[in-house]
Amino acid sequence: DVKVTQSSRYLVKRTGEKVFLECVQDMDHENMFWYRQDPGLGLRLIYFSYDVKMKEKGDIPEGYSVSREKKERFSLILESASTNQTSMYLCASSSVRMENEQFFGPGTRLTVL
Protein backbone atom coordinates (compact mmCIF):
# COMPACT_ATOMS: atom_id res chain seq x y z
CA ASP A 1 0.00 0.00 0.00
CA VAL A 2 1.14 3.50 -0.79
CA LYS A 3 1.79 5.50 2.29
CA VAL A 4 2.03 9.26 2.51
CA THR A 5 2.87 10.56 5.95
CA GLN A 6 2.86 14.07 7.29
CA SER A 7 4.93 15.14 10.25
CA SER A 8 2.10 16.53 12.39
CA ARG A 9 -1.67 16.12 12.54
CA TYR A 10 -2.16 19.34 14.50
CA LEU A 11 0.10 22.35 14.79
CA VAL A 12 -0.36 25.69 16.54
CA LYS A 13 1.99 28.54 15.69
CA ARG A 14 2.18 32.26 16.31
CA THR A 15 2.03 34.99 13.69
CA GLY A 16 5.46 35.62 12.20
CA GLU A 17 6.91 32.22 13.02
CA LYS A 18 8.61 30.14 10.35
CA VAL A 19 6.71 26.88 9.92
CA PHE A 20 7.88 23.63 8.35
CA LEU A 21 5.44 20.96 7.21
CA GLU A 22 7.04 17.69 6.19
CA CYS A 23 5.70 15.02 3.87
CA VAL A 24 7.21 11.63 3.09
CA GLN A 25 6.02 9.00 0.61
CA ASP A 26 7.28 5.45 0.44
CA MET A 27 6.38 4.38 -3.11
CA ASP A 28 9.13 6.03 -5.15
CA HIS A 29 6.65 8.43 -6.73
CA GLU A 30 8.03 11.09 -9.03
CA ASN A 31 5.36 13.70 -8.32
CA MET A 32 4.52 15.39 -5.04
CA PHE A 33 2.00 18.09 -4.24
CA TRP A 34 0.94 20.44 -1.46
CA TYR A 35 -2.67 21.60 -1.17
CA ARG A 36 -4.61 23.54 1.36
CA GLN A 37 -8.20 22.61 2.10
CA ASP A 38 -10.67 25.18 3.35
CA PRO A 39 -14.44 24.78 3.87
CA GLY A 40 -16.35 25.74 0.74
CA LEU A 41 -13.17 26.23 -1.30
CA GLY A 42 -12.15 22.62 -1.87
CA LEU A 43 -8.49 21.82 -2.42
CA ARG A 44 -6.22 24.50 -3.80
CA LEU A 45 -2.76 23.69 -5.12
CA ILE A 46 0.09 25.55 -3.46
CA TYR A 47 3.22 23.98 -5.00
CA PHE A 48 4.17 20.78 -6.75
CA SER A 49 7.29 18.96 -7.81
CA TYR A 50 7.96 16.46 -10.58
CA ASP A 51 11.50 15.62 -9.54
CA VAL A 52 14.14 16.17 -6.91
CA LYS A 53 15.19 19.83 -6.59
CA MET A 54 12.42 20.80 -8.95
CA LYS A 55 9.39 22.88 -7.95
CA GLU A 56 6.51 24.58 -9.67
CA LYS A 57 4.06 27.15 -8.35
CA GLY A 58 0.47 26.13 -8.08
CA ASP A 59 -2.56 28.38 -7.85
CA ILE A 60 -1.83 30.00 -4.47
CA PRO A 61 1.95 30.03 -3.83
CA GLU A 62 2.13 33.43 -2.11
CA GLY A 63 3.52 33.19 1.39
CA TYR A 64 4.81 29.66 0.88
CA SER A 65 7.96 27.97 -0.37
CA VAL A 66 8.93 24.32 -0.79
CA SER A 67 11.96 22.11 -0.74
CA ARG A 68 12.56 18.74 -2.34
CA GLU A 69 16.08 17.51 -1.61
CA LYS A 70 15.18 13.81 -1.75
CA LYS A 71 12.69 12.00 -3.94
CA GLU A 72 10.58 10.77 -1.04
CA ARG A 73 10.37 14.04 0.91
CA PHE A 74 8.59 17.29 0.07
CA SER A 75 8.56 20.12 2.60
CA LEU A 76 6.25 23.10 2.72
CA ILE A 77 7.59 26.22 4.39
CA LEU A 78 5.64 29.19 5.67
CA GLU A 79 8.30 31.87 5.84
CA SER A 80 6.33 34.11 8.22
CA ALA A 81 3.05 32.57 9.29
CA SER A 82 -0.07 34.70 9.19
CA THR A 83 -3.57 34.08 10.52
CA ASN A 84 -4.96 33.66 7.00
CA GLN A 85 -2.74 30.61 6.62
CA THR A 86 -4.77 28.78 9.26
CA SER A 87 -5.97 25.78 7.28
CA MET A 88 -5.75 22.03 6.64
CA TYR A 89 -2.65 21.21 4.59
CA LEU A 90 -2.66 18.07 2.47
CA CYS A 91 0.30 16.42 0.83
CA ALA A 92 -0.11 14.04 -2.09
CA SER A 93 2.08 11.98 -4.37
CA SER A 94 1.60 10.27 -7.70
CA SER A 95 3.47 8.28 -10.30
CA VAL A 96 3.33 8.63 -14.05
CA ARG A 97 3.33 4.82 -14.12
CA MET A 98 0.00 4.77 -12.28
CA GLU A 99 -1.84 7.20 -14.51
CA ASN A 100 -1.44 10.06 -12.08
CA GLU A 101 -3.74 8.77 -9.37
CA GLN A 102 -2.85 10.90 -6.37
CA PHE A 103 -2.42 9.40 -2.91
CA PHE A 104 -3.00 11.70 0.01
CA GLY A 105 -1.56 12.02 3.48
CA PRO A 106 -3.74 12.49 6.57
CA GLY A 107 -3.32 16.25 6.59
CA THR A 108 -1.92 18.78 9.04
CA ARG A 109 -4.36 21.15 10.66
CA LEU A 110 -2.40 24.35 11.20
CA THR A 111 -3.67 27.12 13.43
CA VAL A 112 -1.85 30.44 13.39
CA LEU A 113 -2.63 32.66 16.36
Partner 1 sequence: AQSVSQHNHHVILSEAASLELGCNYSYGGTVNLFWYVQYPGQHLQLLLKYFSGDPLVKGIKGFEAEFIKSKFSFNLRKPSVQWSDTAEYFCAVNTGNTPLVFGKGTRLSVIA
For residue 26, give every residue at least 6 positions away whose Cβ sits within 8 Å of its Cβ, in sequence order, or none.
Answer: 2, 3, 4, 5, 72
Question: How many residues bind to partner 1 according to rule CB under 8 A?
Answer: 24
Report whether 6 contacts 22 (CB < 8 A): yes
Site map for partner 1, 71-90, x if CB under 8 A? Answer: -------------------x
Please count the other Cβ atoms lying within 10 Å of the Cβ belonging to residue 22. Answer: 16
Q: What phi and psi values does residue 30 have, to the nearest 5 degrees?
A: -75, -40
Q: Which of 14, 20, 50, 113 binds partner 1 (CB under 8 A)?
A: 50
Rounded to whole angstroms, how far apart are CA atoms 6 and 48? 16
Establish if 54 lies at the interface with partner 1 (CB under 8 A).
Answer: no
Establish if 107 lies at the interface with partner 1 (CB under 8 A).
Answer: yes
Establish if 106 lies at the interface with partner 1 (CB under 8 A).
Answer: yes
Q: Write out the residues near partner 1 by the rule CB under 8 A.
A: 31, 33, 35, 40-45, 48, 50, 58, 90, 92, 96, 99-107
